[in-house]
Amino acid sequence: MTAPATAPPATSAWRALRTPLVVGAGGLALASLLHFRDPNVSGSYGFCPFKLVTGWDCPGCGGLRAVHALTDLDVAVALSSNVLAVLLVATLAVAYLAWIPRRLADPRASMIAISSRTGVVLIAIGFVFTVVRNTPWGSWLAP
């Protein structure tokens, strides 16, 4: 008697979902860290080198506080800390949930694939966000 040529469906599903499960566990671990170690305490995660050098808030400034607020289910505080970080977390959550069925259909499917044009647009959004949040008329975006 010879071994079957293909793995049983449960094994292939486990292999397909292994990477998404590891990524999900990593995301939950990082969210837990931000929940239990409050980034609102000055210096608890170090200081932003961009802000130290330029005095400006970078596009990520306030992002840790935003995720901390999201773990407390306080969306208003999260949005006031860094609206861009909240949008990023929401986008990554949707992409992650969409990734699981795609992985079951194709075990090599990636979570997110963006074109060069999309990458340039995202960089431009980050640049504009940085400039606007550091001007008097965009101060409502500052963390």
For residues 48-59, give the mean pLDDT: 91
Global pTM reads 0.83
CB hemisphere CA count around 62 (13 angstroms): 22
Interval 58-97: pLDDT, tens: 999 999 999 999 999 999 999 999 999 999 999 999 999 9
What pLDDT sits at residue 132? 93
What pLDDT sits at residue 14? 87
Q: Does residue 3 surpass a pLDDT of 60?
A: no
Q: Does residue 100 surpass a pLDDT of 70?
A: yes
Could you say which DSSP state residue 47 is in? -
Res. 12 pLDDT band, cuts 50 70 90: confident
Q: Of the candidates 58, 63, 76, which has an alpha carbon nearest to the alpha carbon of residue 127?
A: 58
- Strand, coil or helix: what is 46? strand
Interval 19-47: pLDDT, tens: 999 999 999 999 999 999 999 998 888 88
Which residues, listed in sequence order, are joined to residue 133 by a DSSP beta bridge? none
What pLDDT sits at residue 6? 57
Q: Does residue 2 surpass a pLDDT of 80?
A: no
Ramachandran region, residue 2 (left: φ > 0; alpha: ψ -120 to 50; beta: rest): beta
Round to whole Å and give the CA distance between 126 and 80.
Answer: 17
Looking at the chain, how many residues does it have?
143
Res. 4 pLDDT band, cuts 50 70 90: low
